[in-house]
Amino acid sequence: MPARPSVLYVTDLAYPARGRRYCDEDILLTSRLRADFDLALCHPRDAAALMDGFDAVVVRNSGPVLHYREAHDAFRARATAHGTRVYNPLTGRGDMAGKQYLLDLTRDGHPVIPTVDRPEDLHRLPETDLYAVKPRDGADSIGLRFLTRGELATLPRPADATGPHQGDGLHQGDVLVQPRIDFRYEVSFYYVDDTFQYALHAPDPERRWVLEPYEPTGADLAFARRFIDWNTLDHGIQRVDACRTREGDLLLVELEDLNPYLSLDLLDEPTRDTFVAAMTASLHRFLDTTPRA
């Protein structure tokens, strides 16, 4: 009888996410994945040291990378050097690679909340009472502030900065600035590989993680699909977060392709079972089609 594939499942079971219980979701997923894989769990800080003993590494609810940046960089470097099979693959162009994609998508005219990172580009943003200012490498709303345009000039300058914009408050590579959008609600679309699984939305803009099932229209799915196609990941789990404006349009908020929380506890049992089956099949395809160096 052939040996079953072995999987190192990376999660931070103790991460105190607001409005979510990461540990419950990963306990559920690992209990189901064990039917097909020999599986062990580890903290993201331990992944680089342990991963060589497994056929693949699955990164799930591992928390914001900024809490363990050095360990994460070491994990990526070692996985790349050793040809380790990582799910999601490390080629993601969304949050996995930082927030640069928001600038790229804005520049290329995609339906995304307009985003800039340079003082000379502030005029590209629509006029609004408040602007969202967030760290370029931020996550989970860590470091998020709302400022007026005048207050943008008060953003601190890094101590080692030099150049023509010294002292003007907004500095390339430091923070991102977006207009605060008066939206009706947020909605998330969940995918395994390139296949849509389900959607959830937050009817109350002030309660991001109080989610309800959402039945997407064809136009909604076309919106989400354009970002799945743009990301070009052959395997993995992705979440496309968007907001519905007062005018009825959808704008991308985030393309989460590193460790998207899935809110599986909010799904009915058939939808949850379908998702787990899709993830299991995706992992098998990934192992069957991705050579190990």
Find where tokens 């919106």 sit.
223
pLDDT in tens, the chain (293 residues): 568 999 999 999 998 877 788 999 999 999 999 999 999 999 999 999 999 999 999 999 998 887 888 999 999 999 999 999 999 999 999 999 888 899 999 999 999 999 998 777 888 888 888 888 887 766 656 667 888 877 776 665 544 444 433 434 454 457 888 898 889 999 999 999 999 999 999 999 888 889 999 999 999 999 999 999 999 999 999 999 999 999 999 999 999 999 999 999 999 999 999 999 999 999 999 999 988 76
Among 119, 225, 115, which residue's Cα sits nearest to residue 180?
A: 115
Find where tokens 């058939």 sit.
270
Give yes or no for a contact between 182 and 166, defined as CB atoms under 8 angstroms apart: no
- Distance in angstroms (rounded) separating the CA atoms of residues 165 and 174: 13
Quote the tokens at residue 141. Answer: 């709303």
- Distance in angstroms (rounded) separating the CA atoms of residues 187 and 212: 9
Q: Which residues pair with 196 in a beta bridge?
A: 191
